[in-house]
Amino acid sequence: MKSIIRNSVLILSVIVAACTGVVASATTTQAASGGLTISPTSVDVTVAPGGTYKGEMLVMNQGELDVAYSVYATPYSVTGEEYKPYFSPIKGATDITKWFTFDKSSNDSLKIGMQESIPYTITVPKDVGAGGYYATVFAETSDKGGAGVVTRKRVGMIVYLRVSGDVKESGSINSWNVDWMQQAPLRADVKVANTGSVHFKANVHVTVSDMFGSKKFSYERSPEILPQKLRDIPISWENGATYGLFKVSGEVTYLNKTEQLPTRYVFVANLPMRLLTVCALIAFVALIVFGSRRVAVRKK
């Protein structure tokens, strides 16, 4: 009898232990997230030589942990047509990070749900030439750890600074590419070149219409084009039509002028649909040919 009870208790214990284990694994939660939010993501300011600009960047803690962070400025430049950002000094380029001062450059603990305004001042030296100068103001977490890979997060506000004076503003549309046959998503890209000495915004507006003129997709963005750089602006109709013939048209407005992009026609289809379309076209042509021959024979 005792052994029966002992075995029953043992079996019960195993079942309870197993169930506890399941519950424990089921209640395992993901680690709380920590990080930062900033606003705005960029500013475009004009300052005269010898002048100053005062601005503010908002730092918010929308995570699940209190966070310590610091604020600082780095240079900003880009590489390639895709504008890969680069935040280290470049030899020969003016490093404008020395022009920045911050009223407050760190916080040991920004509480969850709190936000803080970081006032900053840009002081442009008197002897600086007119043109575009660029920097990024970062808010970076101060994560510390003793073991493993410690991960710090930083989010940056890009500063597009125009030092006023005799600047050269010029640019052009370098290319407008739309392949005539594509698979979904329909893609296009326009490249805008800045041949001047200061940045400008290029407003790119592209529409995709079906063959009946009904607008199916519209794209409008205004990216900054940095001096002496070519920017590739990709346009993609995500989750758009997977089959059909479409008309792609658009315009680019920059430096107070608007240039129309030549209208392009695009056939969107995946490989099986392309084959099916070709077969249908062949059948259609064959029907017409045979039909006209039969009519000619009957007339004879």
List of residues contacting another protein (CB under 8 A): 30-31, 33-42, 58, 60, 62-63, 65, 82-85, 87-88, 136, 138, 140-141, 143, 145-156, 158, 221, 223, 234, 236, 238
92/272 with CB nearer another protein = 92
Distances (CA, A) of 105 to 120, 252, 254: 9, 40, 37
Give min distance, CB of 265 to another protein, in A: 23
For residue 95, give the nearest of 41, 161, 169, 167 by alpha carbon.
161
Helix or strand (DSSP H, E) at 94:
none
Instruction: Provide the minimum distance between the beta carbon of 236 and another protein in the complex, in angstroms, as a whole number.
Output: 6
Cα–Cα distance between 225 and 200 in angstroms, integer? 5
To another protein, the closest distance from the beta carbon of 187 in angstroms equals 10
What amino acid occupies position 191? Answer: K
Q: Which is nearer to another protein, 189 or 251 (CB)?
A: 189
Least gap, CB of 87 to another protein (angstroms): 7
Tokens of 7: 């075995």
For strands 229-237 and 257-268, give the pairing.
Answer: unpaired
Min CB(134)–another protein separation in Å = 12
* Closest CB 294 distance from another protein, rounded Å: 55
User: Which is nearer to another protein, 31 or 296 (by Cβ)?
Assistant: 31
Kindly state the tokens that stand for 51: 């002048």
What are the Cα distances from residue 273, in Å, to 111, 185, 197, 207, 238? 56, 15, 49, 24, 19
- Alpha-carbon distances, residue 290 vs 69, 279, 283 (angstroms): 78, 16, 10
Using the minimum distance from each CB to another protein, give the nearer residue, 48 or 158: 158
Smaller CB separation from another protein, 201 or 274: 201
Would you put residue 80 in left (φ > 0), alpha (ψ -120 to 50) or beta? left
Backbone phi, then psi, for 6, in 5-degree steps? -60, -45
Nearer to another protein, 105 or 123 (CB): 105
Helix (H) / strand (E) element for 261: namely: strand 257-268
Closer by beta carbon to another protein, 202 or else 269? 202
31 or 295: CB nearest another protein: 31
C-alpha closest to that of 233 among 253, 200, 204, 199 = 204
User: Closest Cα to residue 71, out of 21, 127, 119?
Assistant: 119
**Rounded least distance, CB 276 to another protein, Å:** 29
Find the shortest distance in angstroms from Cβ 188 to another protein. 12
